[in-house]
Amino acid sequence: MSCGGPLSAVMSIAGAGLLPGAGAIAGLGSSLGVSSALTSALDSFNALPIAGQFSDIVSSASGILGGGTLSSLQTLGADIFPALTNAIPGGFSSALNVLAPGGGFGGGFTGLISQTASGIMGSGDLTRFGQIFNSAQGFVGQANQFVNSGLNLSGISTTFGPVTGGMDNLITGGFSQVSEAFGALGGDLGNLGNLINMNNLPNLGSPSALVGQLASVGGLVPGVETALRQAGVDTAAITNLARGGLPNISDSANRALYQGMTQITGSELAQVKNVLGVRTPGINNMADLLNPVKILPNSFPSLTMPTPDGLRGIYASASGAVNTNLERFLVDPRAPAYTGDDPIVRARLGLPPVEAVV
């Protein structure tokens, strides 16, 4: 059995140099090792006469001087000028106690650096280094995931809060601002088939938008075409609409179209519902498809809208009376604390694009 993808040629060569024993094979050698620049820097320091002289002293003193005196020798000058004794700089002895208990190290500070580097590289066994590296990379990924979450806060903090529904808004992608009765809303939406074009939400409720969606999904049905003609929409526009063109009719024609929709019932209504896939009960004429109380019969009492004062019910009661307090917010386009991703709206409100919001 094989797993994973194949290695490339250079990866195979590199991998050979990671395997145990590779270092002893002529023409192969170990792929990795302590940085040669580090080794060079350490060698240069250790080659200083004073460094060599003091290193010899420490080596000779081991076994002659008592532990306390030897420790004093190893930390001589650590707080003043540690380079003259190759001591671990005094301020760090405690933090490095796990490597050099007592603040001293047999090979001095450069010895400690060298041995630490060697240890990380597996002390001659690169497979040990591989395990250390994997642990390190795992930590980098996990820690930075936490840290970056904090860094990205500024993006979402601008719109976070009770006004937009707090954490519910975040964990539901904003749907909690529509309704928190997800089961009922989802059920109602599921009965609507393709009634609503999510890419045309700004025109929700417009008769022409509904006709456009009908034409887009399955084509115009005769009753609707008649309603369009009676509304004064010319043949060219109707033809264009039937071909998927965007409805663009006057307000008065749109009003007349709505009136025409109220007359579409029975089999013609059934045709419309069939084309759109609407299964919602209680739809008596095509105009009902523009009435949220009719199309969302179970969930409409739970519908909300974001306002500067927080989420507010769209309906004042379960009987279907609309909350007229919302009217003032709909007149002012700046009113809601916008968390949607429409780039034009976000730019207008001075909000960062959604790509910056994690």
Partner 1 sequence: MTTYNTLKKIIPPDQALANQALSRSLRQVKDIFRADLPGVSEAVSNLESNKDLDLINALATPIPTVVTDFVGNTLATGTGPGNTVTTNDIIGIAAGATVNSELPVVTTVVTELANLGALTPLTANGGSSGSAVNGIYTLMSYALTGAYSSGGNVANSTTIPNTTHYAGPQTFGDVDLAFSTAGTGLIAVANSYISNIATTYANLVNQANDAANACAQQLVLNVDNCTAAGIDIGNVVNDVANANLVANSVSTALGLASQLHDIGLDVSEGGAAQFFENIANITNLTGQAVIASMREGRNIAVLNAVGIQLDTQLVDVNANTTVANNLGNAQYSVAEARANIVI
Site for partner 1 in 7-46 (CB under 8 A): 7-20, 22, 27-38, 41-42, 44-45
356 touches partner 1 (CB under 8 A): no
Interacting positions 182-211 with partner 1 (CB under 8 A)? 182-183, 185-190, 192-199, 201-207, 209
Distance (Å, whole) CA 181 – CA 97: 58
Shortest Cβ distance from residue 69 to partner 1 (Å)? Answer: 4
DSSP assignment string, 275-341:
HHT---TT--SGGGGG-HHHHSTTTGGG-EEEETTEEEESBSSTT--B-GGGHHHHH-TT-S---S-
Shortest Cβ distance from residue 179 to partner 1 (Å)? Answer: 8
Residue 55 CB contacts under 8 Å (≥ 6 apart), including other chains: 46, 86, 107, 108
Q: How many residues bind partner 1 (CB under 8 A)?
A: 183
Shortest Cβ distance from residue 232 to partner 1 (Å)? Answer: 14
> Taking contact as CB under 8 A, which single stretch among the options 220-228, 232-240, 265-273, 331-339 is the one that binds partner 1?
331-339
DSSP helix/strand/coil, 107 = coil
Shortest Cβ distance from residue 25 to partner 1 (Å)? Answer: 10
Which of 72, 267 has the CB closer to partner 1? 72
CA-nearest of 61, 113, 47, 110 to 82 is: 110
Q: Do residues 214 and 272 make contact, with C-beta atoms less than 8 angstroms apart?
A: yes
Alpha carbons within 13 angstroms on the beta-carbon side of residue 11 total 4
> Taking contact as CB under 8 A, which single stretch among the options 221-229, 232-240, 248-256, 267-275 is the one that binds partner 1?
248-256
Which of 281, 324 has the CB closer to partner 1? 324
The partner residues of 322 in beta bridges, in order of sequence, read 315
Interacting positions 100-159 with partner 1 (CB under 8 A)? 109-110, 112-113, 115-123, 125-128, 130-140, 143-144, 146-151, 153, 156-157
Shortest Cβ distance from residue 133 to partner 1 (Å)? Answer: 7
CA-nearest of 285, 301, 281 to 293 is: 301
Shortest Cβ distance from residue 9 to partner 1 (Å)? Answer: 6
Shortest Cβ distance from residue 181 to partner 1 (Å)? Answer: 9
DSSP assignment string, 238-289:
HHHHHTTPPP---HHHHHHHHHHHTT--HHHHHHHHHHHT---TT--SGGGG
Q: Measuring CA to CA, how many Å separate 276 from each of 272, 286, 322?
A: 6, 11, 26
Interacting positions 219-238 with partner 1 (CB under 8 A)? none
Which of 190, 266 has the CB closer to partner 1? 190
Structure tokens at 191: 């009965």
Interacting positions 309-328 with partner 1 (CB under 8 A)? 314-315, 321-324, 326-327
List 228, 272, 286, 303, residue binding partner 1 (CB under 8 A) = 303
